[in-house]
Structure 1
Amino acid sequence: MLYVVTGPPGAGKSSWIRAHAKARDIVIDMDLMALAMAGPGADHHNHSDILLKVVHRARFAAIREAEQHIDKTDVYVIQTLPSAQQRANYKRLKAKLIVVDPGRDIVMQRIEAMRQPGMKAVATKWYRANRGQSRSAMPQASRNW
């Protein structure tokens, strides 16, 4: 099964996956990939443009390959803002969409405390794109920081 986990930055997407994925599942998470490819002591959420370019290419390749195996293992993909083309592909693959959204106030507090200021704009864009849409929400009000 393919799970596409979406939500604004700081919503708890990675935490949701940690609570649901098994050790043998495939998890495609930009933050974890960037951290794995960065040098020792790298910040968890603040990466250079060059590193992010490398990670994006690796991520796309990983998704393409993982899609070939969703009949044999569960695959979890974090995708904050899937494009229309990506949504169509996920629909074709019969992916299960998981929305993690503890609410705008909590997200903005988390970004203020732990993320780069630019993530507020990404969160605002996510909330605008998802305003008024009916979706199966998976609220996550809090987690241990």
Structure 2
Amino acid sequence: MRYACPTPGCPTTAPTRTTRCEQCTRRNSRAHKITLVCGPPCSGKNTWVAKHAQPGDLIVDLDALYTAVNANPTRTDHDQPAALTPFAFDARDAITNRLLHGDHNLRAAWIIHSAPEAATRAEWKQRGANIVMITADQDTLTHRAQVQRPNQWGEHIQDWHRRYTLGHVDRTVTTG
């Protein structure tokens, strides 16, 4: 007898009521290698990942994807032209979909995503990812934005705090 796979949203069957189907088992066994690194802009997410990632690890970073698709060689760091937004988002989504499908042999994957909403973090957690929140006090965030980023980054920081909702994180790191 076959039973519905207990993984939420999975339409396939499994050999027992509590056993996942083969595809979900494979995907879940690889999901523990995924770390969602989230937090407000300018908190130090990229710096933290750079200290922990190893050669051959996958790093999914929207800022880096904007850089990859931006032809302007004189652009400033963190320049995000609106015309390139759908392309950067599509690239990020394609990479994360492949990653979550579980058809890979990565040592680790690092997803850099601001993720202010608890629901976003919960979705990654449900898929087996570790959640690391990188934070800094408001003065530090504002100073970093003024020194290192385009003018609108102060607004991005305020927007992150307006959208932030409490929710699960496995680890919190405060930078200073």
Q: TM-score range by the shorter chain?
A: 0.7 to 0.9
CA distance in structure 1 between the aligned counterparts of 2:166 and 2:115, rounded to whole angstroms: 16
Q: How big is each residue's C-alpha offset from its partner over 1:6-29, in whole Å with a ceiling of 9 and x where there is no partner? A: 111111101111000111110000
**How far apart are residue 84 of structure 1 and its match?**
5.3
Gaps of 5+ in 1: none
Match of 1:116 in 2: 150
CA contact (8 A) 1:2 1:70 kept: no
Work out the percentage of aligned pairs sharing the same amino acid.
22
Gaps of 5+ in 2: 1-32
Match of 1:67 in 2: 100
Secondary structure at the aligned position of 1:65 is classed as helix
Match of 1:139 in 2: 174
Report the TM-score, using the length of structure 1 for normalisation: 0.84
Matched, 1:87 2:121: yes
Paired residues, number = 141
Alignment of 1:33-112 (within 5 A): 33-39=65-71, 40-69=73-102, 72-73=105-106, 74-81=108-115, 83=117, 85-112=119-146
Match of 1:29 in 2: 61
Q: Which structure carries more relative contact order (alpha carbon 8 Å, separation 6+)?
A: 1
CA contact (8 A) 2:40 2:157 kept: yes
CA contact (8 A) 1:2 1:93 kept: no
Amino acid at match of 2:52: H
Larger radius of gyration: 2
Aligned alpha-carbon RMSD (Å)? 2.3
